[in-house]
Amino acid sequence: MRFFRKLAKIFMIFFVIGILVYLGIFLYVKLSPKVVINTANSVFLYDKDGEVFFQGNEEKEWVSLDDISQYVIDATIYTEDKNFYKHHGFDYLRILKAFYVNITSGSTKQGASTITQQYAKNLFLSFDKTWKRKWDEMWYTIKIEATYSKDEILEGYLNTINYGHGMYGIENASKYYFGKSASELDLAEATMLTGIPKSPSNYSPLIDFEAAKERQLLILNLLVENGVITEREMNDAYQEELKILGEEDRDELTTVMYYHDAVMDELETIDSIPKSYSDTSGLKIYTNLDWDLQKKVEENIKESIPDESEVQTSVVLMDPNTGGVLALAGGRDYNESSFNRATDSMRQVGSTMKPYLYYAALENGFTSSSSFTSEETTFVFNDQDDYTPQNYNQTYGNKPISMGTAIAYSENIYAVKTHLFLGGDALINVARRVGITAKLENVPSLPLGTNEINILEMAAGYSAFANLGYKVKPHFIERVEDSNGKVLYEAKNTKEAVLNPSITFILNNLLTATYDADYIDYNYPTAIGLASKLTHKYALKSGTTETDNWDIGFNNNVVCAVWVGYDDNQTLKTSEYKYAQDIWYKSIEYYERNVAEGDGWYEMPDNVSAVLVEPISGRLATDSDKKKKMMYFIKGTEPINTDQEVFDEKVEESYPS
């Protein structure tokens, strides 16, 4: 008994200390300058033409609590925080209850955040789950409660929460969904809107009407349980036929939210930007987004991938001269999956790895005509290990082929021979120079793309080819201003020379072989189906594994990278390998639609010569050759048949089979 008395005394002491500490903090905050709360979500994102494509809280749409339907107020309170007018920011009994339920159930079935806590969370530019962020949110909760009335807090909360589809605030949401002001909402409309903020991507009636109705019914039941409405009113509201508009001034794009998320992620990395809205009075973020291009990319995805398919995609278009990302899709539909595959996923890149290898080869004495024999080969290394790669469909020429032919057919044998001859460090070195940071294993299969790399990183890597040798950093934001127009950040768009321009010029021309009919022989170029569809000249490389399909191509104006695959790494069907190519050519051709034919390609450097060769073998063309093609060489390295054959024979001796 004495033990329990002692325990009770200790508990009371800590309880009193806790109350005193809280009161002390509360008093300190009360005497501190007010935290500005009406700027929560006051952020505007502009495309490259200065048009707003996303807005959070817009000042003119802020409405007072008196101009909000009482149904919205009641539904929000009894759904989110029924003790809102009784607590001081934290509902301790609810916290204990939620803790007990979650512990006993072994899951997080219940949350305990109050309206004030949720409002405090919305003051921040991102939603990190670090301990520092949680502490900051607690601190802001106390500051808000100490300096604002309950009505002011509720008014601010309703004017800033996310109702989906880029609609922040009850007035914006009311006009968007129902074409009326928040004061005019009836019970059915109010409870439908109140259900959305818990998960806008799941409970928007424009996305999943049945789920939205289930959520509405739950809220109506809560109002009945708390004596706010009668069961008859609940049934009438639930049965009411709602006319949902979902209209806005600009075409709504489901994929543009992937771009939005990438912008907000980048914003958090900029040191000059305050971390909370209350410190900024709102932000104006000017991005590189090409709205029309983004719209076209979304259309291309929908046209190319059947609705019933579960295959996913990611698409990146970038200005190779600045690194500015012009369009980005991290999936087929943000409303169905907000996971951003363009910024957050790593996938096997297949043969899109080969251009890094062939640049290394050209840098180390190879030429456009350098040849290896295309034949089934077993490579022996480390005196005991062997590796037997295969060409697609096990198609071999059983004769020497040029580098141009190897690129056209995406020959694996040629690539592995080149890789082993140069040594694995050569490929890795080039990849690192152009900005590839992913883990790269020095193994014989490295040039076949067995390692996983992010698509945004691959697009940036190819940008170094597109701009003739300069590494650029991919970025979304060009400038950030506060609400008064003060510039808080401006992108520098710096370029670093990492590749030889003349060698890059040669490689870029070799990469046009993928859709060049001059290379039709014992096989077909991998993208020969595009030959009649392309109105401009592009360097292009595809990449194919069992689970991933890529197309990355470029000229001096733009880089376009497309990936297609399943999130769970299912094997792609044969028919699904065309999706990436269709999205790629439609997107890059749209971007180049107003560019004159020939513009965007490269002028031949002074130290490069053009020589007429027989393209398959790479040897000098003769009068008897049916096919002749102009290929490019650093002056002094043009093919002289005898010398070329001696070089090739010497290299071939390195590969016992």
How many Å apart are CA 345 and CA 332, to the nearest integer? 14
Angle at 53 between CA 49 and CA 57, to 5 degrees: 130
CA dihedral sign, ordered 125, 131, 135, 141: positive
Dihedral, 605, 609, 610, 615 alpha carbons, nearest 10: -110
Count the alpha carbons within 13 Å of 485 in the hemisphere toward its beta carbon: 0
- Work out the burial of residue 568: count CB atoms within 10 Å of its CB; fewer than 13 is exposed, 13-18 middle, 19 or more buried: exposed
Determine phi and psi for 283, rounding to 5 degrees.
-130, 145
Cβ atoms of 618 and 371 closer than 8 Å = yes
DSSP classification of residue 512:
G
DSSP classification of residue 573:
P
HEC letters along 488-509: EEECCCCCEECCCHHHHHHHHH
Compute how many other C-beta atoms are within 10 angstroms of the C-beta atom of residue 104: 9
Choose the catalytic residue: 42, 61, 69, 80: 80
Compute how many other C-beta atoms are within 10 angstroms of the C-beta atom of residue 500: 18
How many Å apart are CA 511 and CA 554, to the nearest integer? 10
CA-based nearest residue to 561, from 569, 548, 573, 550: 550
How many Å apart are CA 399 and CA 247, to the nearest integer? 62
Cβ atoms of 254 and 335 closer than 8 Å = yes
Choose the catalytic residue: 174, 201, 351, 374: 351
The two three-digit tokens of residue 62, written as one number: 């802020």
- Work out the burial of residue 92: count CB atoms within 10 Å of its CB; fewer than 13 is exposed, 13-18 middle, 19 or more buried: exposed
Residue found under tokens 């106390």: 142
Cβ atoms of 38 and 159 closer than 8 Å = yes
Under 8 Å CB-to-CB from 613, ≥6 apart: which residues?
Answer: 368, 369, 402, 619, 620, 621, 628, 629, 630, 631, 639
Q: Alpha helices, DSSP H only, in 316-402?
A: 341-344, 354-363
Residue found under tokens 């039709």: 520
How many Å apart are CA 326 and CA 343, to the nearest integer? 14
Determine phi and psi for 558, rounding to 5 degrees.
-160, 150
Q: Alpha helices, DSSP H only, in 455-577?
A: 455-466, 501-510
End-to-end Cα separation, the chain, in angstroms = 87
Cα–Cα distances in angstroms (integers) from residue 100 to residues 83, 104, 107, 108, 170, in the given order: 19, 6, 11, 10, 34
Q: Alpha helices, DSSP H only, in 82-208?
A: 92-105, 115-122, 131-147, 150-158, 170-178, 187-194, 200-203
In three-state secondary structure terms, 462 is helix
Q: Tell me if residue 80 is catalytic.
A: yes
Q: Tell me if residue 272 is catalytic.
A: no
Angle at 618 between CA 617 and CA 620, to 5 degrees: 115
Cβ atoms of 514 and 527 closer than 8 Å = yes
Residues with active-site annotation: 80, 351
